[in-house]
Structure 1
Amino acid sequence: MPKTIYRPEHTALLQLLKTYRKAAGLTQVECSKALDRPQSFMSDVENGTRRLDIVQLRDLCKVLGISLPELVEELENAITTSQ
């Protein structure tokens, strides 16, 4: 099994996070600041060089205005429709 970062499911997650950030009207800088992280944090997340643990993902969801269960459901839908 390939590493997670090389799987299409990971790409789908990154795309969802970027979509929700933009829908929230947040820049990468604003999102990073809301999480009390360095400016480069969201850039690294969105380009796949930084992985999030479940707690960080939950925090990010709050900033983006979506619940973690909603994000997971969206991810499952994206994965299912792309197969």
Structure 2
Amino acid sequence: MLVEKRETAGITQTELAARLGEYQSLVARLESGQRRVDVVEFLDLAMILKFEPDEILKRLMEVN
């Protein structure tokens, strides 16, 4: 879902990483599932990528 939201926003991994104050490799690990997103990062991602956090949480609950 993170890839979908990032691509919809028209942002590259490098651009997202810069806005988060992180390296591109962190974004790649988050998107591939190699690293979990913590709550603060999740809220930052929602703000940057302009999505409603509860929308994603509902989708995740449906999958599991």
TM-score when normalising by structure 1:
0.68
TM-score when normalising by structure 2:
0.84
TM-fit CA distance, 1:71: 1.6
Q: Which amino acid aligns with 2:39?
A: I
**Structure 2 unmatched ranges of 5 or more:** none
Match of 2:23 in 1: 38
Report 1:39-78 matches (<5 A): 39-77=24-62
Deviation per CA, 1:18-71: give whole Å up to 9, x if none.
Answer: 101000001111111111111211101011112111111111111111021122
The percentage of counterpart residues that share the same residue type is 33
Contact 1:35–1:59 under 8 Å retained in 2: yes
Q: Aligned partners of 1:25 and 1:73: how far apart in 2?
A: 23
The structure that has the greater radius of gyration is 1
Q: Aligned partners of 1:76 and 1:52: how far apart in 2?
A: 16
